[in-house]
Chains A and B, each alone.
Chain A
């Protein structure tokens, strides 16, 4: 596609509910990143994939957060038993072969609100 797309754009969940957020990276981009952005803050790193391999998940805040990219393209970020502190914008970014060296392109984000 022309850019990174994310769905849904908005998600309202009741506390305790499970949610799944989807990211479609730019076609051909091997690197995919997830970030979490709290209100009024800069984005913070969650996890990184190179193709289907999850190379870094050091930013995932708890074991309720799980991400996958089984075929090396679309990625899903799953949050189990959502809590109010999970309310944030979840951003996905993709980049070319040399992660870190190449520019990252961001999707529009998914705004998650946990009631």
Chain B
């Protein structure tokens, strides 16, 4: 059974810092991994999608990497801003899961001005 873990559960940093959010998964037979952002009381906004054949994806100040063999992904945020404050969720879609996403519990990020 696929399990997804995110560390840390919460993170507080001063504005301008670079930071890394971690995601690990137990079953490496995945189609892809998605990183989402969730603002309080809102739905999920997709940030980056990494297919299983890819090693990383970049969008603006965000860079996500994938090491399928070790079951790990990282989301790197450069030059953090207060507007980056949100909960970040990773989710995997696996060959043994019928297409559904299995989510981690999220990392709550606070960027202080």
Interface residues of A in 55-80 (CB under 8 A from B): 55-56, 59
Q: Give the contact-size bracket for chain B.
A: 20 to 34
- 1/0 per residue, CB under 8 A from A, across B6-46: the answer is 00000000000000000000000001101010000111111
Q: Which residue of A lies closest to B108 (CB)?
A: A40
Q: Which residue of A lies closest to B89 (CB)?
A: A42
**Which of A43, A55, A59: most chain B CB closer than 10 A?**
A43
**Which residues on B sit within 8 Å (CB–CB) of A93?**
44, 101
Contact among B46, B49, B98 with A56 in the assembled complex (CB-CB below 8 Å): B98
Q: How many A-B residue pairs have CB under 8 A?
A: 73
**A50 nearest in chain B by CB position:** B99
> Nearest chain-A residue to B49 (Cβ)?
A103
- Report yes or no: A104 in contact with B101, Cβ–Cβ below 8 A: yes
| A44 in contact with B99 (CB, 8 Å) | no
A104–B102 CA distance with the chains assembled, in angstroms: 12
Q: Quick one: given A103-B46, A104-B46, are A45 and B32 in contact (CB under 8 Å)? A: no
A-chain residues with CB within 8 Å of residue B41 when the two chains form the complex: 111
Contact partner, A100, options B43, B93, B103, B104, Cβ 8 Å: B93
**Complexed CA–CA distance, A13 and B86 (Å):** 29
Tell me how far the C-beta of A58 lies from the nearest C-beta in chain B, rounded to whole angstroms: 8
Excluding A33-B101, A93-B101, A106-B44, 13 further A-B contacts by CB distance (< 8 Å) are: A35-B103, A42-B104, A42-B105, A45-B100, A48-B99, A99-B98, A100-B32, A100-B95, A100-B98, A100-B100, A101-B51, A104-B93, A107-B43
